[in-house]
Amino acid sequence: SQTIHQWPATLVQPVGSPLSLECTVEGTSNPNLYWYRQAAGRGLQLLFYSVGIGQISSEVPQNLSASRPQDRQFILSSKKLLLSDSGFYLCAWSGVSRNQPQHFGDGTRLSIL
């Protein structure tokens, strides 16, 4: 069966520090991969998605970047964190054919001090 791992679960970082959040998927090949951010009590905002290795699309301009160095690895990064980068970050995967659900990791709670 397929599983998705996301870490760390919580992270406290100072303003201006770098960021690297990692997400890996097991049990499937060539998944679509997604990074979302969720503000407290709100819905999800799509940040990046990827349909293949090295293929990254950004949905909103921001201080973050994403990379997909391997088929089942998706990394969210920042060179210098801002206070506004605080939030709950979720990684998800889906199959490539149409009408597929997305499957989510347990998220990373990021607090910027």
Partner 1 sequence: SQQGEEDPQALSIQEGENATMNCSYKTSINNLQWYRQNSGRGLVHLILIRSNEREKHSGRLRVTLDTSKKSSSLLITASRAADTASYFCATAYNNAGNMLTFGGGTRLMVKP
Q: Which residues bind partner 1 (CB under 8 A)?
A: 6, 32, 34, 36, 41-46, 49, 51, 57, 88, 90, 92, 94-96, 98-107, 109
Minimum gap (Å) between residue 19 Cβ and partner 1 = 19
| DSSP state at residue 79 | S
Quick one: how far is CA 39 from the chain centroid? 14
Closer CB to partner 1, residue 17 or residue 94?
Answer: 94
Q: How far is the CB of 89 from partner 1 (least distance, A)?
A: 10
Cβ proximity to partner 1: between 106 and 113 the closer is 106
Nearer to partner 1, 14 or 97 (CB): 97
- Between CA 113 and CA 58 the distance in angstroms is 26
The least CB distance from residue 69 to partner 1, in Å, is: 19
Residue 31's SS3 state is coil
Distances (CA, A) of 25 to 6, 63, 87, 107: 9, 25, 22, 14
